[in-house]
Amino acid sequence: MATESKNFIEQIIDKDLAEGVYDTVHTRFPPEPNGYLHIGHAKSILVNYGLSQEYGGKFNMRFDDTNPTKEDIEFVESIKADVQWLGADYEDRLFFASDYFGQMYEAAVKLIKKGKAYVSDLTADEIKEYRGDFEHPGKKDPASDRSIEENLALFEDMKNGKFADGEKVLRARIDINSPNMNMRDPVIYRVAHMTHHNTGDAWCIYPMYDFAHPIEDAIEGITHSICTLEFEDHRPLYDWVVRELEYPNPPRQIEQAKMYLKNVVTGKRYIKKLVLDGKVDGWDDPRLVSIAALRRRGFTPESIKMFVEMCGVSKAHSIADYAALEYCIREDLKPKAPRYMAVLDPIKLVIDNYPEDLTEELDAVNNPENEELGTRKVPFSKYLYIERDDFMEEPVKKYFRLFPGNEVRLMSAYFVTCTGCVKDENGNVTEVHCTYDPASKGGNSPDGRKVKGTIHWVEAKSAVPAQIRLYENLIDEEKAEETGSVYDEDGNVYLNPNSLTVMNAFLEPAFKGAKAYDRFQFVRQGFFSVDPKDSKEDALVFNRIVSLKSSFVLPKKED
């Protein structure tokens, strides 16, 4: 019997536990509150939370809010909602980097006293010049020889607001000629006279992320600090900080590959521009892949988790196809979602030989793949709505739906035979006429005759009107393939003009009372969800989550 192999992070954790480096596992998700989270962040959330659960450990939620110039309470609240929706339970362990500003200041003072940090007068451009590059060595900062006492006094003056933004910075004294650029005396504190969303105006100096992050992890007792590959070169600095500050049981940083989706927009500045330009309906527009957008569109936490597991954990970058994400939501909803009838492009169907004043209640199965969802009653009468493309006056080859003289099955109802149609003055079909076979109730003929076509329908008098939103990729995929980018030379997104189609539909009465985020399969149409933003009890709005057809082929598992 084959055993499931563990990924490289699990192997590291197993080794650490076996060797007694740690006796527990404590992970965290540390977003910066400067935008909405996207599908890539979902991987980080679920991997970190999943590891804590796998090893019986703890999981923290912590905001790395060290840069007040870009942060906002709106983003804090949206991120909390995303993490909770994905099911990552941080219990009472919600933290902010800003909660530790006092301890970070004392940590910087400790480094100064150890001779490991100094106040610099260089501007940002001068620091960049002095650091050199991969081909040129760094140059000694003229202020690096200041005494410990002078550095302590200057750093306190920085804290007390005596310097303007950019006038002074605190640098770590490591190695100005290190082959790793991150170790060439990096800036660890800067002056920024900005109001912070959490601490207000209590501080006018703020720690840099590379200095703050290892301190936060160490204070919280994080054992395995899992980040993405771009931080691999930052790991020596991470280790230097926790080592020089002499934290017991210091955390271990581990890097994994990001999760990319093909032909989507994830960059915060690009999404912000789309929002400001009115190209999308906010950060949660269902055409985006922010977690809020996926939730609004109707994706489930279970489908996101399935997708993350399918992509896996590795050191190698890979790009997933959006079709794989669609496959996951289909698989999740097939047994869960009730299958009701909805007509998106309606045309009236009149059954000429059906009694004028009769309305029947027919039995219909709610989901053929899940008997537990039971059955429902569906009204049926002389006047129905069907899809416009379920009738052709002059049918093409292999067209098995309604055309004059052809018989089809009305789902869960009767066999009907098309007798003709009514047109307006412009030649457009306005009504289709049929006769029905009363003996075929339930959609089966007693004489055993077969029909090749089955179509869905909605009874006209009881029909529930609704707005339906059909989505395609926001990106013009042909243009993206042609240019190799989803952005043009000016940084604008190549937009698909057909990314949103709005239709006015009729639904069967079972849809009445549908609430925000309720999910259904529309028979023959796809999976849909009630829009939480625009839908009202008397004016339902549905987003199509995904069509029924899939282009994705599930990879074969290796033996």
pLDDT tens per residue, range 36-72: 999 999 999 999 999 999 999 999 999 999 999 888 8
What the block records as the tokens of 516 is 């925000």
Domain final residue, candidates 196, 227, 256:
256
Are the C-beta atoms of 368 and 339 separated by less than 8 Å? Answer: yes
Asked whether residue 190 is domain-assigned, the answer is yes
How far apart are the C-alpha atoms of 172 and 279, rounded to whole Å?
Answer: 44
Q: Are residues 440 and 292 in the same domain?
A: no
pLDDT for the residue 485: 87
User: pLDDT, tens digit, for every residue of 499-512?
Assistant: 999 999 999 999 99
Match 């097939």 to its residue by tokens. Answer: 334
Q: Is 302 exposed, middle or buried (0-12, 13-18, 19+ CB in 10 A)?
A: middle
Let me know whether 315 and 203 are in one domain: no
Q: How confident is the model at residue 318 (pLDDT cuts 50, 70, 90)?
A: confident
- Distance (Å, whole) CA 14 – CA 17: 5
In a domain, residue 377? The reply is: yes
3-state secondary structure of 435: strand
Same domain for 39 and 164, yes or no, is yes
Q: What secondary structure, in 3-state letters, does 38-83 show?
A: EHHHHHHHHHHHHHHHHCCCEEEEEECCCCCCCCCHHHHHHHHHHH
CATH of the domain at 489: 1.10.1160.10
Q: What angle do CA 218, 213, 16 make, to 5 degrees?
A: 45
CA 45 to CA 308: how far, in whole Å? 10
More confident residue, 483 or 523: 523
Q: What's the token pair of residue 293?
A: 């957008």
Whether 454 and 430 share a structural domain: yes
Are both 452 and 474 inside the same structural domain? no
What is the percent of the chain where pLDDT is above 90? 88
DSSP 209-252: HHHHHHHHHHHHT-SEEEEEGGGGGGHHHHHHHHHHTT-SS--E
One domain, residues 474 and 359:
no
In a domain, 3, yes or no: no
pLDDT of 422 over the 90 cut: yes
Among the listed residues 283, 274, 215, 203, the one whose alpha carbon sits nearest the alpha carbon of residue 250: 215
H-type alpha helices, 277-397:
291-297, 301-311, 322-333
Domain that includes residue 311, residue range: 268-333+466-507+513-546
Average pLDDT for 256-282: 91
Determine, yes or no, domain membership for 262.
no
Q: Which residue matches tokens 């906010």?
A: 282
Q: What is the pLDDT of residue 3?
A: 53
Distance CA 465, CA 343 (A): 10
pLDDT for 531 equals: 98
Count up the domains in the chain and report the number.
Answer: 3
CA-CA distance, 403 to 374, in Å (whole number)?
A: 34
**What is the average pLDDT across 60-87?**
95
Sequence-separated (6 or more) residues with CB below 8 Å from residue 558: none
Q: Answer left, alpha or beta for residue 342, where phi above 0 means left and psi between -120 and 50 means alpha.
A: beta
261 belongs to a structural domain: no
Pair 229, 129 in one domain = yes
Q: Is residue 348 domain-shared with residue 455, that is, in the same domain?
A: yes
- Asked whether residue 13 falls in the same domain as residue 101, the answer is yes
Helix axes 39-54, 301-311, angle to 10 degrees: 80
- The torsion region of residue 361 among left (phi > 0), alpha (psi -120 to 50) and beta comes to beta
Residues whose CB is less than 8 angstroms from the CB of residue 7 and which lie 6 or more positions away in sequence, other chains included: 312, 313, 314
- At 118, which CATH number? 3.40.50.620
Residue 444's pLDDT is what?
Answer: 84
User: How confident is the model at residue 559, as a pLDDT?
Assistant: 41
- Quote the pLDDT of residue 555: 61
pLDDT band at 382 (very low <50, low <70, confident <90, very high): very high
**Band of residue 550 on the pLDDT scale cut at 50, 70, 90:** low
CATH code of the domain containing 418: 2.40.240.10
The answer on 222 and 189 residing in a single domain is: yes
Residue type, 522: F
CB atoms inside a 10 Å sphere around CB 125: 8
**Mean of pLDDT values over 62-87:** 94
Does residue 346 share a domain with residue 203? no
pLDDT on residue 552: 58
Number of alpha carbons in the 13 Å side-chain half-sphere of residue 247: 23
Q: Is residue 37 a part of any domain in this protein?
A: yes
Considering the domain architecture, whether residues 247 and 103 belong to the same structural domain is answered as yes
pLDDT class for 490, splitting at 50, 70, 90?
confident
Least confident of 80-89, 172-181, 542-551: 542-551
Name residue, tokens 């990319």: 260
Residue 353 near residue 435, CB atoms below 8 Å: yes
| End-of-domain residue from the set 228, 256, 284 | 256
